[in-house]
Amino acid sequence: MRRKFDFLVVGSGIAGLSYALKVAQQGTVAIITKAGATDTATRYAQGGIAAVTYTPDTYEKHIKDTLIAGDELNDENIVRITITESSERIKELIAWGTRFDKTTSGQFDLGREGGHSEKRVLHHKDSTGLEIQQVLLHQARQNPNIEIYEDYFTIDIITQHHLHEEVTRRRDDITCFGAYVLDVKSNEIHTFLAKTTMLATGGAGNVYATTTNPRVATGDGVAMVYRAKGAVEKMEFIQFHPTALYNTKESPSFLITEALRGFGAVLKNGAGEEFMQKYDARASLAPRDIVARAIDNEMKLSGDDFLYLDCRHLDKNELINHFPTIYAKCLTIGIDIARDLIPVVPAAHYTCGGIKTDAHGRSSINRLYASGECASTGLHGANRLASNSLLESLVFSHRASVDAIARINAIQYRDDIPDWNAEGTVLNEEMILITQSLKDLQAIMSSYVGIVRSNLRLKRAFDRLEIIYCETEELYEKSILTVKICELRNLINVAYLIIKMAMQRKESRGLHYSLDYPRTRPLDAGSSINRHDE
Ligand SMILES: Cc1cc2nc3c(=O)[nH]c(=O)nc-3n(C[C@H](O)[C@H](O)[C@H](O)COP(=O)(O)OP(=O)(O)OC[C@H]3O[C@@H](n4cnc5c(N)ncnc54)[C@H](O)[C@@H]3O)c2cc1C
């Protein structure tokens, strides 16, 4: 089936929805989302959204904190744009219906997170993302110009390549005419033609075995753009949370807040011994990056799949009082944190790099925008400052909407696009080929391309990935398309980009730490223990 829209939006998180609501003033909008509309990372955001609201906070302080966290690989102009436009975007969120917590005096109850020099994180209890997700989705569902397609999986964006022209990375006129989309329920592949397309497909945490990201975070947008010969950058910078609950039956992984260590919990190895003193005099209270690396090293030395956090020496009532959610969550898997050790493991949390965009959310491909976690705007540099990502999504979705609205009337649909050709494909009846390759891929990335890297580990990962890549491409060519095979292919593509860019970075910088290039610069100020995790 063929459908035509002025604006095509892939993704129903904060980036996709906030953009859709704005462009809907100017034309018809389709929002494509591969699962339910609330299956997003946005809904999991707990900590909140960073923005300057009251003195003594200033834009300059927020800018400086962001640059320090980013290890000065940020684009300062983009940092300034994001932060100086934060107040307007927050006002809009509130006008759409978002409720942020207030104190008894009526002021916003601002949180402070690691790396922020002031209290500046607006939040709705500890479920800010869910509040934003529900408000934006409610608005989108009410809008007569917006159609939401749930369980529709975008396979690829359409470019001249699909008109049998040669498309290389050297071409500067690559243009997006829409996307091929798989209706997951009927298994039909539709052609969505659009005057402009926005990719808001979120992160890629599932390239690792343990992640806080929802299942939908498989880097699809990044892979689509790379396949279409568009620009992708900074993929080596993957942010890990040091302590997620180790539970192989659960995805996404449950975060064990760093505040628990601040409260007195101690990290222990598989033998039940403290180990942090070997790495830092502050032991379990050492900065986040040091703890993450120490855990990684201990796991590599012992070969264990997880380590422990010990709260048994802490006052039980106070523990439950301060951490009721963690207490209740652990009990559901038979762990009483007042009596038992908590198994923990680092988890992939945020993809800093992605589709390269400019100050208007434009990708290197004409008529194609990107916003949110799939985009690399230049805001985060080599490490993201906590709670800056929801803000980034709002700012660049807004800027992209202004740009797209200004151009839309001058753009014509391309009507000569062929429908998807599925000739010669058959149903792959051996799902094991896909599920095992996914496990292999995640194991390779977690073992060799995690928190601590080296040239040898990266080379090993690259060589092993090559085998999975060849096998999967062969399978893909022959198979009737399913979400699973498309996601696997996308994750392989993302893994390739992470490894390649990590190999090219001949230094330890921000989130990329290599044993072969010891860090000489002092650690950033964003590494303190969070009082609130996001
Ligand atoms: C546990 C957790 C806590 C966090 N806490 C915070 C916080 O407190 N503050 C903060 O600023 N950030 C936080 N973050 C990060 C933040 O939530 C995300 O970066 C942000 O929500 C990303 O929004 P997005 O719109 O780009 O993507 P998402 O919200 O992930 O949405 C992506 C959308 O794209 C769709 N999609 C993907 N691929 C396809 C495809 N091929 N076809 C169709 N649809 C597709 C998905 O189905 C989904 O609808 C947190 C993240 C996690 C995981």
Helix, strand, or coil (residue 183): strand
Kindly report the CATH number assigned to the domain that includes residue 44.
3.50.50.60
Residue appearing with tokens 């699809």? 220
377 pocket-lining for ligand 1 (C-beta < 6 Å): no
Are both 11 and 123 inside the same structural domain?
yes
- 239 token code pair: 């942010």
- 77 token code pair: 């102009």
200 pocket-lining for ligand 1 (C-beta < 6 Å): yes
Q: Is residue 533 part of a domain?
A: no
Site to substitute for ligand 1 among 154, 155, 201, 394, most atoms within 8 A of C-beta:
201
Task: Tell me how far apart the alpha carbons of residues 150 and 209 are, in angstroms, rounded to a whole number.
Answer: 26
Task: Tell me how far apart the alpha carbons of residues 112 and 259 are, in angstroms, rounded to a whole number.
Answer: 12
533 pocket-lining for ligand 1 (C-beta < 6 Å): no
**Of all atoms in ligand 1, which is nearest to the CA of residue 202?**
27
Are both 400 and 377 inside the same structural domain?
yes
Are both 67 and 204 inside the same structural domain?
yes
Distance 15 CA to ligand 1 centre (A): 8
Q: Is residue 383 part of a domain?
A: yes
**Of all atoms in ligand 1, which is nearest to the CA of residue 392?**
11
Are both 39 and 136 inside the same structural domain?
yes
74 pocket-lining for ligand 1 (C-beta < 6 Å): no
Are both 151 and 85 inside the same structural domain?
yes
Q: Which residue spans within 117-162 are E strands per DSSP?
A: 121-122, 146-150, 152-158
DSSP collapsed to 3 states, 57-106? CCHHHHHHHHHHHCCCCCCHHHHHHHHHCHHHHHHHHHHHCCCCCECCCC
- Say which of 288, 362, 399, 509 is annotated catalytic: 288
Helix, strand, or coil (residue 219): coil
Are both 81 and 106 inside the same structural domain?
yes
**Of all atoms in ligand 1, which is nearest to the CA of residue 486?**
41
Are both 333 and 197 inside the same structural domain?
no
Are both 212 and 93 inside the same structural domain?
yes
Q: Is residue 524 part of a domain?
A: no
Helix, strand, or coil (residue 396): helix
Task: Tell me how far apart the alpha carbons of residues 191 and 28 are, in angstroms, rounded to a whole number.
Answer: 16
Domain end (from 346, 379, 397): 346
Residue-level pLDDT at 532: 61
Kindly report the CATH number assigned to the domain that includes residue 339.
3.90.700.10
Task: Tell me how far apart the alpha carbons of residues 414 and 368 are, in angstroms, rounded to a whole number.
Answer: 14
- Give the torsion sign (CA, 400, 401, 405, 410): positive
Domain end (from 293, 314, 346): 346
Q: For the chain, give the number of residues.
A: 534
Q: Is residue 475 part of a domain?
A: yes
Q: Which of 208, 242, 469, 512 is nearest to 353 (CA)?
A: 512
Active site residue 288: yes
Q: Is residue 371 part of a domain?
A: yes
Residue-level pLDDT at 31: 99
Instruction: For residue 442, give its domain range.
Output: 432-514
**Of all atoms in ligand 1, which is nearest to the CA of residue 154?**
42
Are both 330 and 464 inside the same structural domain?
no
Model-level pTM?
0.95
Starting at the edge strand found earlier in the chain, the sheet holding 232-233 runs 232-233, 354-356, 375-376
Distance 203 CA to ligand 1 centre (A): 6
CA-proximal residue: ligand 1, atom 38 (nearest):
201
Task: Tell me how far apart the alpha carbons of residues 14 and 202 are, in angstroms, rounded to a whole number.
Answer: 9
Number of domains in the chain: 3
Residue-level pLDDT at 526: 46
CA-proximal residue: ligand 1, atom 21 (nearest):
42
346 pocket-lining for ligand 1 (C-beta < 6 Å): no
Are both 177 and 322 inside the same structural domain?
no
Are both 133 and 64 inside the same structural domain?
yes
Mean pLDDT by 10 residues, the chain (534 residues): 97 98 98 98 92 96 95 97 98 98 95 88 90 98 98 98 96 97 97 98 97 97 98 97 92 89 92 94 83 91 93 95 91 97 96 98 98 98 94 98 98 95 85 94 96 97 98 94 97 98 96 91 55 66
Residue type (1 letter), 91: K
Show the DSSP H helices in 414-532 as ranges.
431-448, 455-478, 483-504
CA-proximal residue: ligand 1, atom 46 (nearest):
11
Packed helices 128-142 and 14-23: angle between N→C axes, nearest 10 degrees: 30
Q: Is residue 520 part of a domain?
A: no
Domain end (from 346, 376, 396): 346
Are both 103 and 164 inside the same structural domain?
yes
231 pocket-lining for ligand 1 (C-beta < 6 Å): no
In degrees rounded to 5, what are phi and psi of residue 437? Answer: -60, -35
13 pocket-lining for ligand 1 (C-beta < 6 Å): yes
Residue appearing with tokens 């997880």? 306
239 pocket-lining for ligand 1 (C-beta < 6 Å): no
Q: Is residue 445 part of a domain?
A: yes
114 pocket-lining for ligand 1 (C-beta < 6 Å): no
140, 20 Cβ separation under 8 angstroms: yes
Run of H or E residues at 180: strand 178-183
DSSP collapsed to 3 states, 312-354? CCCCHHHHHHHCHHHHHHHHHCCCCCCCCCEEEEEEEEEECCE
**Of all atoms in ligand 1, which is nearest to the CA of residue 42?**
21
Q: Is residue 421 part of a domain?
A: no
- 436 token code pair: 């095992």
- 139 token code pair: 């608005």
